[in-house]
Structure 1
Amino acid sequence: MRVAIEDLTVTLAGRAVLSGVRLIAAEGEIAGLVGPNGSGKSTLLRTVYRHLRPHAGRVLLAGRDVRSMTTAETARHVAALPQERGSDFEFTVREVVAMGRAPYKRAFAGEDAADREIVAAALDQVGLGEHAGRSFAALSGGERQRVLLARAFAQQPDVLVLDEPTNHLDVQHQVELLALLRAQRSTTLISLHDLNAAASLCDRLHVLHEGAVVASGTPREVLTPELLAKVFGVRAAVVEHPLTGDPLIAFDHHTPASAGGGPAWAP
């Protein structure tokens, strides 16, 4: 399912957090959002899964405005993993993942065999199949993250919306999660702080700065030393990854970009 964001403006507390944003995630494509803190990434994602109502503009799923859909209909198409995640659920791991089946159930309807199979498969996907009976509240931050991702998978959406899903994960589980997303090939909108992870995972990148999209394209087209200096304020070289051939950003941790006289970003 194709996602298109058209002229999106979001105003919070009288301030335009996003202004005139246009971007797409093609069907089956992983589209990444990158940018400094406060650039509007999370706000944009919240409009896609209808946590926020835009001041102007539209979010289209296969050409249809999400605001014209019912909440249940949206939930059958879009599964979200936001940054603000509950940690005090008094449920087992399996019960949390089973919540992903709610958009397909009538009120008070119980699970059927298909639901149980889907939930079990989602837990296996994130490597927690043997932990179904554990208390969610007793899990580590990384384990909770994987459970909530399994809940999104159990929802069987057309579109995944993931806000910093690698937070709290150790390196092994970060690598496994990114490989899992590649294998899923669902249309995905994902925000990432790790630019090298974004370069490896994403088919397309959109760079946000001060509420506007300032660059879009493939990781190789977007992640240039000039953009990294202007938007992120860092000096870096972009080389080829010796194992994968993806762009690899080598940051200069000794000299700030400002020491080289780099200009501030002006869209």
Structure 2
Amino acid sequence: MRISVEDLTVTLSGRDVLSGVRLLAADGEIAGLVGPNGSGKSTLLRTVYRHLRPSAGRVLLADRDVRSMTPVEAARHIAALPQERGGDFEFTVREIVAMGRAPYQRAFAGEGAADREVVAEALEQVGLGGQERRSFAALSGGERQRVLLARAFAQKPDVLVLDEPTNHLDVRHQVELLALLRAQRRTTLISLHDLNAAASLCDRLHVLHEGAVVASGPPREVLTPALLAQVFGVRAAVVEHPLTGDPLIAFDHRAAVAEVARA
């Protein structure tokens, strides 16, 4: 299901954090948000999954404004994995993932066999099958991240909204997560700091800078040395990945160090 952002402005504490943003994640497409810290990526994602209300513009799921949906209806269509996770949860792994089935359950009805099957499948997908009874509070940061992703999968949404989902994951689990998202082919809007991961994973990239989208398109067209210098303030070459053929960004770390030394 397509999700589009039309002329979105979000004002927080009297300041426009986003201004006139337009972007698209087509049906079954993985669209990435990249940009420096403070460029508005998290604010945009929070607006998409209705945590924030825009001061102008709208977010459309297919052709429907997400603000016109009830919370339950929105939760059946959009699942989010935000950066802010809250504190330790005194729940088991299975209980956390089962929360993803709440939009489909009537009050006090409890879960059925279909819900239990979906929860088990979601845990298998993130590599935590057989870990259902572990305490969420006792997990490592990477394990918690995968449990929360499983909860999002358990919602069976049309759209996934993921804010830095590779945070706290080691290299192996980062690679596995990106492969899993690619295999699902579910409409996904994802923010990533790792530009090489974004280039490998995403069908389309939207580059945010100072609250505005400054470039959109396929990674190979968007991630140019000129844009990297303009938006991120780094010197880099863009070459072909020797294993996958994806764009691979080689940063000039010596230039960056020299720049800092001169400051």
Q: TM > 0.5 between the two?
A: yes
If the length of structure 2 is used for normalisation, what is the TM-score? Answer: 0.97
In structure 2, distance between residues paired with 1:240 and 1:124: 33
- Count residues in correspondence: 259
Query: What code does the residue aligned with 1:56 have?
Result: A
Q: Determine the structure 2 residue equivalent to 1:204.
A: 204
If the length of structure 1 is used for normalisation, what is the TM-score? Answer: 0.96
- Cα-to-partner distance string for 1:190-239 (whole Å, 9 max, x where unaligned): 00000000000000000000000000000000000000000000000000
- Unaligned residue ranges in structure 1 (runs of 5+): 260-267
CA-CA distance at 1:109 after TM superposition? 1.4
CA-CA distance at 1:256 after TM superposition? 3.2
Identical aligned pairs, as a percentage?
86
Contact 1:87 1:144 in 2 (8 A): no
What secondary structure sits across from 1:130 in the alignment? Answer: coil
- Cα-to-partner distance string for 1:50-108 (whole Å, 9 max, x where unaligned): 00000000000011000000000000000000000134111000000000000001111
Matches within 5 A, 1:235-254: 235-254=235-254
Q: Determine the structure 1 residue equivalent to 2:163.
A: 163
Task: Establish whether residue 4 from structure 1 lines up as the match of residue 34 from structure 2.
Answer: no
Q: Determine the structure 2 residue equivalent to 1:68.
A: 68
Task: Establish whether residue 228 from structure 1 lines up as the match of residue 228 from structure 2.
Answer: yes
What secondary structure sits across from 1:214 in the alignment? Answer: strand
CA RMSD of aligned residues (A): 1.0
Contact 1:100 1:153 in 2 (8 A): yes
Contact 1:229 1:257 in 2 (8 A): no
What secondary structure sits across from 2:180 in the alignment? Answer: helix
Task: Establish whether residue 29 from structure 1 lines up as the match of residue 12 from structure 2.
Answer: no
Task: Establish whether residue 149 from structure 1 lines up as the match of residue 149 from structure 2.
Answer: yes
Matches within 5 A, 1:45-60: 45-60=45-60
In structure 1, distance between residues paired with 2:149 and 2:87: 14
Q: Determine the structure 2 residue equivalent to 1:118.
A: 118
Contact 1:233 1:257 in 2 (8 A): no
Q: Determine the structure 2 residue equivalent to 1:255.
A: 255
Query: What code does the residue aligned with 2:111 have?
Result: E
Query: What code does the residue aligned with 1:10 have?
Result: V
CA-CA distance at 1:130 after TM superposition? 1.4
CA-CA distance at 1:172 after TM superposition? 0.1
Query: What code does the residue aligned with 1:198 have?
Result: A
Query: What code does the residue aligned with 1:99 have?
Result: M
Q: Determine the structure 2 residue equivalent to 1:81.
A: 81
Query: What code does the residue aligned with 2:50 have?
Result: R
